[in-house]
Amino acid sequence: MSGEVFSALRQALHEEEAVVCATVIRGEPLGAKLLVFEHGRTVGSLGSEELEAAVLSDAERLLQSGEAETRTYRLSDGREVEVFLEAHLPPRHLVVIGAVHIAIPLVAMAKELGYRTTVIDARAFFATRERFPHADHLIVAWPDEALTQIKITPQTDIVILAHDEKFEDPALHVALRSRAGYIGAIGSRKTSQQRVDRLRRAGFTDEDLRRIHAPIGIDIGAKTPQEIALSILAEIIAVRRGRYSPQPRPAKSSVAVISGKGS
């Protein structure tokens, strides 16, 4: 790797700028590299304008998906060149609205998974460093105000644990107007339905409302805060990787029939 390319790659990783690194792994010039940034800016060279143009269009797709792939390109002179393309996207950002009990293991586990984390709550005694030693940012403010301070991108996942419509509705209004990659909100099926009704009255469409994952988390029978955190993170990963499919949830309780003599 040339010094110029490697230092540009290091800088992109440090500054959390999205970049795709393309490397010739078979054919000539073996080992040549091109970095592709957003808006088509490039650093380096693959030795052929024709090849670079083809790689550029694949790289732009990978800047969105964050994936890696190896592709074979056949050039007009008949040569075949194999190129490995790898996206380096900024770390995903988990934004938790509601510094409640479940938020504590959620933020700790998300940190372990490599997320940047932000916890937002209007109540200063909830959003404390003592409760959230792992959080990258703690913001004491109303959720909608706090969300406008954050850059929400498709790499941002918003989890609403506030459990109170005066906190969660304003947050959902901002979240639904953003490009967030995941939006989830805690609450039973009944609360979730009431929330959907309120948002629909506020003017959100069915398409908007389908973005909200509620009841939040995949159904693993979670009971403890740690288990619920795990089910939420599992759902976020499934959505990210295109493996999400909503599961029907069995009703929690049914009437037990006791056989015996009638009175």
CB atoms within 10 A of CB 71: 13
Torsion of CA 194, 197, 201, 204, to 10 degrees: 120
Smaller CB separation from other proteins, 8 or 161: 8
> Which residues make up the interface to other proteins (CB under 8 A)?
1, 6, 9-10, 13, 23, 25-26, 30-31, 67-70, 84, 86, 88, 91
d(CA 242, CA 113): 18
Distance CA 168, CA 185 (A): 8
Q: How far is the CB of 212 from other proteins (least distance, A)?
A: 30
CB of 136 or CB of 208, closer to other proteins: 136
Which one, 88 or 131, has the nearer CB to other proteins?
A: 88
Helix (H) or strand (E) holding 64: helix 49-65
CB of 80 to other proteins, least distance (A): 14
Cα(216)–Cα(249) distance, integer angstroms: 12
For the bound state, the minimum distance from the C-beta of residue 85 to other proteins, rounded and expressed in Å, comes to 10
Toward other proteins, which CB reaches closer, 68 or 220?
Answer: 68
- Cβ 17 to other proteins, closest distance in Å? 12
42-44 and 33-37 as β-strands: parallel, antiparallel, unpaired? antiparallel
